[in-house]
Amino acid sequence: MNKSLFEKPTQTRFSEQIATQIESLILDDQLRPGQKLPSERELAIQFGVSRTAIRESIKLLEERGLLESLDGRGAFVTDLKLENVASSLSLAFRMQSCTADDLHEARWAVESINARLAAERATDEDIAAMEAAMEIMNGAENDPQRYTAADLQFHAAMASATHNPLLVVMARPLVEMIQALGLMTFKTGSRAERHQWHSRLLECIKNRDPLGAREALRQHLNATREATEIVNRPERFVS
């Protein structure tokens, strides 16, 4: 590999600087998916730092989904996909000690935009995808896992209807993380209330009503938040 690609870091947080340099090379296609990085020893010499700093920088890039370390073979550039970015968001949620309130707030920030843009931009194919998810949810009243999977499918289809790939990758992990708070939300009896707002949301998107779609989403997420709060207090479960 061309040694001139790397510059020696000049400040104290060597691992972060090294990770930033390698990340830039990956994003600029100077390091390609599947390409093997030099060994820790070679990188330490090129950067003029310790092997410990190199290991830390590689760990940072693995957490960002940009590198993969294979036992006995070294570190390789991953095939950068939206799923890598989504997993990084999930990791950040766990590492930053975020609360359920933080998660709901972030979801509202992203999905309120998605609902509005979907009402403006959805194609017939986008609407068909949302309708397909709705059909599954309608028939999964007594099957929490099937309903939850279709719920995720619906919100992913709404995000896709924005035709903005960044909104797609931000929305999905937020929905998944809220779902991960527990399928016991079904025990609260709130599913029907939340599902009626799915129907209203889809209706507004089909009618090209951005403000109505945003309001329907607000009502849906408020119902979801209430259900989550009840889940965190088992004594309030309704049989």
C-alpha 236/C-alpha 229 separation (Å) is 10
C-alpha 195/C-alpha 99 separation (Å) is 25
Mapped onto helix, strand or coil, the DSSP state of residue 76 is strand
C-alpha 224/C-alpha 100 separation (Å) is 11
| Lowest mean pLDDT, pick from 3-7, 28-32, 39-43, 120-124 | 3-7
Mean per-residue pLDDT, 227-233:
56
Q: Give pLDDT tens digits for 25-58.
A: 988 889 998 999 999 999 999 999 999 999 999 9
Whole-model pTM: value is 0.64
Mapped onto helix, strand or coil, the DSSP state of residue 110 is helix
Q: Tell whether the model's pLDDT for residue 239 goes beyond 60.
A: no
Residue 96 banded pLDDT, cuts 50, 70, 90: low
Indicate the CATH number of 3-77 among 2.60.120.260, 1.10.10.10, 3.30.1490.20, 3.90.1300.10. Answer: 1.10.10.10
Torsion-angle region of 178 (φ positive above 0: left; ψ -120 to 50: alpha; else: beta): alpha
56 vs 98: which has the higher pLDDT: 56
Q: Looking at residue 146, what is its pLDDT?
A: 87
182 vs 108: which has the higher pLDDT: 108
Mean per-residue pLDDT, 9-35:
84
239 vs 3: which has the higher pLDDT: 3
Q: Give pLDDT tens digits for 58-95.
A: 999 988 778 999 888 899 998 766 566 666 666 666 65
CATH code at 83-236: 1.20.120.530
C-alpha 157/C-alpha 172 separation (Å) is 10
Beta carbons within 8 Å of 53's beta carbon, 6+ residues apart:
14, 15, 18, 44, 47
Q: Tell whether the model's pLDDT for residue 106 goes beyond 70.
A: yes
Q: Give pLDDT tens digits for 151-209.
A: 989 999 999 999 998 898 888 888 887 877 654 455 445 566 667 889 999 999 999 99
C-alpha 60/C-alpha 204 separation (Å) is 43
Q: Tell whether the model's pLDDT for residue 105 goes beyond 50.
A: yes
Domain ranges in the chain are: 3-77, 83-236
